[in-house]
Amino acid sequence: MTAMRQVFIRPPEESLQDALGQQPHQAPIDIALARSQHRLLAAGLAAAGCAVHQLPAAAGHPDACFVQDIALLLPGLALLARPAEPSRQAEVALFRPFLPPELAVTAIEAPATLEWGDVLRLGDTFYVGLSARSNEAGASQLAAAVQPLGLAVELLPVPRGLHLLSGLNSLGPAPAGDDRPVVVAWPDYAGLPLLAGCHVIVVPPEEAPAANCLALGDTVLVPAGYPRTAAQIWQRGFRVLSLPLSEFAKADGGVTCLCVLG
């Protein structure tokens, strides 16, 4: 029997209204709606077969619901980020007590910055996006941590968007396809040599937020409102769950941002 996938999430609280990444002149974040959307996310994760661990809300930490940036969990190893924004750096200590106790822990240290929203895994390679949030020193520390596990690190520029995973995500092999991974990508990334061995779903520019989607086995969680991308994922044989995430999108967040996978 296959063990259930463990997923850690943290609900938003009132300070989400002050989250980073908001654009001028947009509608303010509706906290009540964000909480409802987060509950739907938890239900969607459970429907995908995950064991969902709800962390307590973090009062006074506007971006703490975007837990993915803070921790990466690998077999035997937990890697803790060092966020670039000073307002987010205290989130690392908030997450540490909830790490599975059997994991060794390595933390990215100054002057490095690294947020896991900038890290894409394809096979045995982690691709680190160089963005305003993650730098080469962070990638070097990640390489040193994962090299004993037989994993490699390579660098990628992030031409636009908050993080690499804003526009590029791997879904793994299609349920009824061959062993090549299916990748969802913005046009900016679609021609990268590293994707030559993948099936690439190119996200239309008008559906750009749909690239931030989360694969859990044969189920993919996709932000609601982007039917063309959802249809392409479904045509590859995946089950698609569309989730309303409008309030998190106002802070440049998507479904991957809200989850730490164990």
Taking only the tens place, the pLDDT of each residue in 238-251 is: 999 999 999 999 99
Q: What is the mean pLDDT of the segment spanning 188-209?
A: 97
CATH of the domain at 227: 3.75.10.10
Among residues 255, 246, 222, the alpha carbon closest in space to that of 30 is found at: 246
pLDDT at 101 > cutoff 70 = yes
More confident residue, 142 or 24: 142
Place of tokens 């994760």: 45
Among residues 129, 126, 156, the alpha carbon closest in space to that of 143 is found at: 126
Residue 168 lies in domain: 5-261
**Mean pLDDT of the residues in the chain:** 97
What radius of gyration, in Å, describes the C-alpha atoms of the chain?
Answer: 17
pLDDT at 3 > cutoff 80 = no
CA 47 to chain centre: 19
Are 171 and 216 in contact by the 8 Å Cβ rule? The answer is no
Are 233 and 222 in contact by the 8 Å Cβ rule? The answer is yes
Across the beta sheet with 104-107, the strand order is 71-74, 77-80, 104-107
Are 221 and 45 in contact by the 8 Å Cβ rule? The answer is yes
Taking only the tens place, the pLDDT of each residue in 203-236 is: 999 999 999 999 999 999 999 999 999 999 999 9
Taking only the tens place, the pLDDT of each residue in 45-68 is: 999 999 999 999 999 999 999 999
pLDDT at 1 > cutoff 70 = no
SS3 5: strand
The predicted pLDDT at position 2 comes to 57
Q: What is the mean pLDDT of the segment spanning 116-136?
A: 98
Q: What is the mean pLDDT of the segment spanning 121-138?
A: 98
CB-hemisphere CA count at 13 Å for 127?
Answer: 19
The predicted pLDDT at position 4 comes to 81
Domain count, the chain: 1
The predicted pLDDT at position 39 comes to 98
pLDDT band at 72 (very low <50, low <70, confident <90, very high): very high
The predicted pLDDT at position 164 comes to 98
